[in-house]
């Protein structure tokens, strides 16, 4: 049976200020058309949030839609073999997220949605806040890097109602390195007009990294069961430690 779309009660709304009203009016015409914004089903929103943790929106959209066609409910995903989940995740990167999502679905199947959403595997404070807001109507503002940037630059505190608008403004207009202030609806009220952020740290190279070796090794095991001595031993040990592969008598395979 499919899980209810919104099993919790939404809180009463709050009065918003002029800056937030301007932002929401902009969002009414400039909002990105994203499929997870068309539902309040907590499972569907959890899938989107886990996929979006470290993957660009453009890559997530088709994979999110394919995932939900295959596993439309938390119960359907929970009942699937872990191997199938890992295979379906290929190409999204950071494969531990697949197992966390699978385990979260099993928790929901067995115990329902917890009051404290961080009890779900792979769900930290931000993802819990996003679920609380977008699925359960809670009065909480999920703060990702885009939301934090807009709040810091404008010096304005926004309500939970503005979450999606803040995310879109930060992702498409109030960019870190090259802000598009000429297109910003809040420019006239922004004390940081034209401010550019310096990168906090240089992102490590993927090419030649251990993460690349792990991904390449996992793809080989996804193709078929392998002998351990065919593979990168350090990558196999790391993957096994995360539960992404099983090593038994010299054979490496996906978990069942």
55 phi, psi to nearest 5 deg: -135, 140
CA 232 to each of CA 8, 94, 163, 212, 225: distance values in angstroms, whole numbers, following the listed order: 47, 18, 43, 11, 14
And the tokens for 255?
């978990």
> One of 49, 58, 189, 230 is an active-site residue; which one?
49
Vertex 250 angle, CA 245 and 251, to 5°: 45
Q: How many CB atoms neighbour CB 199 within 10 A?
A: 8
Alpha-carbon span 55 to 1, nearest angstrom: 30
Q: Would you call 2 a catalytic residue per the annotation?
A: no
Alpha-carbon span 184 to 132, nearest angstrom: 28
- Tell me which residues are annotated as active site: 49
């Amino acid at each position: 049976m499919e899980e209810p779309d919104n099993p919790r009660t939404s809180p009463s709304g709050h009065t918003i200020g002029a800056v937030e009203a301007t932002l929401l009016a902009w969002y009414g015409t400039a909002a990105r058309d994203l499929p997870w914004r068309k539902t309040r089903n907590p499972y569907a929103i959890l899938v989107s949030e886990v996929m979006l943790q470290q993957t660009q929106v453009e890559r997530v959209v088709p994979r999110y839609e394919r995932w939900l066609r295959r596993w439309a409910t938390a119960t359907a995903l929970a009942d699937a073999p872990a191997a199938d989940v890992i295979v379906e995740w290929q190409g999204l990167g950071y494969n531990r997220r697949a197992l966390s999502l699978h385990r979260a679905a099993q928790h929901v199947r067995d115990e329902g949605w917890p009051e404290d959403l961080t009890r779900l595997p792979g769900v930290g404070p931000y993802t819990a806040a996003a679920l609380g807001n977008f699925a359960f109507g809670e009065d909480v503002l999920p703060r990702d890097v885009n939301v934090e940037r807009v709040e810091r630059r404008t010096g304005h505190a926004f309500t939970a109602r503005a979450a999606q608008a803040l995310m879109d403004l930060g992702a498409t207009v109030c960019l870190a390195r090259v802000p598009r202030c000429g297109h910003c609806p809040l420019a006239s009220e922004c004390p940081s007009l034209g401010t550019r952020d310096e990168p906090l740290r240089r992102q490590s190279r993927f090419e030649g990294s251990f993460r690349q070796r792990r991904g390449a090794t996992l793809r080989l095991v996804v193709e078929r069961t392998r002998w351990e001595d065919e593979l990168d031993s350090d990558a196999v040990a790391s993957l096994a430690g995360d539960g992404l592969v099983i090593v038994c008598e010299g054979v490496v395979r996906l978990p069942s």
